Amino acid sequence: MSPPSAVPPEVGDATRLRIGVLASQGDFAAHAEMLGSLGAEAVEVRTSDAIAGLDGLVIPGGESTTITKAIERDGLEHSIQRHAEEGRPILGTCAGMIVCDRDHLGLVDATAERNAFGRQIASFEVELEVEGLGPDPLRAVFIRAPRISSYDDDVEVLASVEGHPVAIRQGQVVLCAFHPELTDDSRMHALLMALATAARERRQHHESGTRGQNDA
Ligand code: GLN
């Protein structure tokens, strides 16, 4: 009889989610801190190798042109798209919303309009009810924020300001125009982690099903 197989190295930390934060530019550190406070292992991501196998990924705010160029320069486009294709969740915030839209990485069937609230009201805060986060409104901080200007039927609007979508979800991709890392309300990050936990369970279920088939 063959000996029992070796314990995989990740087992020691198997329950802790590994969430990457794209660290090309922008306010990635605050996201990493928030994810850590919720019990995730937050990983700063700058290479495609660092994306492989992550349970979830945050694409933070900053400057969307700079972030898009950095993604191209570092060859991350394909890895981020594969992450999404594998059903691993993504949270894109502010500039990250733009980077994920159909004119950029193409992760959602929606278009984000840059600096959509105009120069005069470049930054503002509102109490926002966000679908799926419970009845308590979230204090949403908008800084030269985008908003969704068009979207297809498969996109779910989670929150709007003046009738314009500012938080959407399509499958495992959640995008918000505000900065959830700048308040002490961690519900957007908790949502990402809940999606990441469910996605991990689906993968494990799928793997054990595949093993079962191979064993048969
Ligand atoms: N205005 C920025 C852009 O268009 C986004 C601002 C932000 O991420 N806070 O890229």
Could you tell me the pTM of the whole model? 0.91
Where is average pLDDT lowest: 45-59, 75-89, 200-214? 200-214
Sign of CA dihedral 110, 116, 122, 124: negative
Where is average pLDDT lowest: 6-20, 66-80, 84-98? 6-20
Q: What lines the ligand 1 site, CB under 6 Å?
A: 61-64, 94-95, 98, 114-115, 143-144
The confidence score (pLDDT) of residue 26 equals 82
For ligand 1, mutation pick of 69, 98, 182 (most atoms within 8 Å of CB): 98
Domains, the chain, with CATH or none? 17-198 (3.40.50.880)
8 pLDDT more than 90:
no
The confidence score (pLDDT) of residue 13 equals 62
What positions carry a catalytic annotation?
Answer: 94, 179, 181
21 pLDDT more than 50:
yes
4 pLDDT more than 70:
no
User: What contacts 168, CB < 8 A, 6 or more positions away?
Assistant: 108, 110, 148, 151, 155, 156, 157, 158, 174, 175, 176
- What stretch of H or E contains 216? none
* Cα-based distances in Å from 158 to 40, 125, 163: 24, 17, 12
66 pLDDT more than 90:
yes
* Cα-based distances in Å from 170 to 13, 90, 212: 30, 10, 31
The residue with tokens 């279920």 is 205
Where is average pLDDT lowest: 54-63, 76-85, 202-211? 202-211
* pLDDT bracket for residue 213 (50, 70, 90): low
pLDDT in tens, 132-165: 999 999 999 999 999 999 999 999 999 999 999 9
Residue nearest to atom 2 of ligand 1 (CA): 63
The confidence score (pLDDT) of residue 122 equals 78
Query: Closest by alpha carbon to 106, among 173, 16, 7?
Result: 173
Distance of CA 43 from the midpoint of ligand 1 (Å) = 22
47 pLDDT more than 60:
yes
Q: Contacts from 4-12 at CB under 8 Å and sequence distance 24+?
A: none
How high is the mean pLDDT of the chain? 92
Distance of CA 177 from the midpoint of ligand 1 (Å) = 9
Distance of CA 202 from the midpoint of ligand 1 (Å) = 34
121 pLDDT more than 70:
no
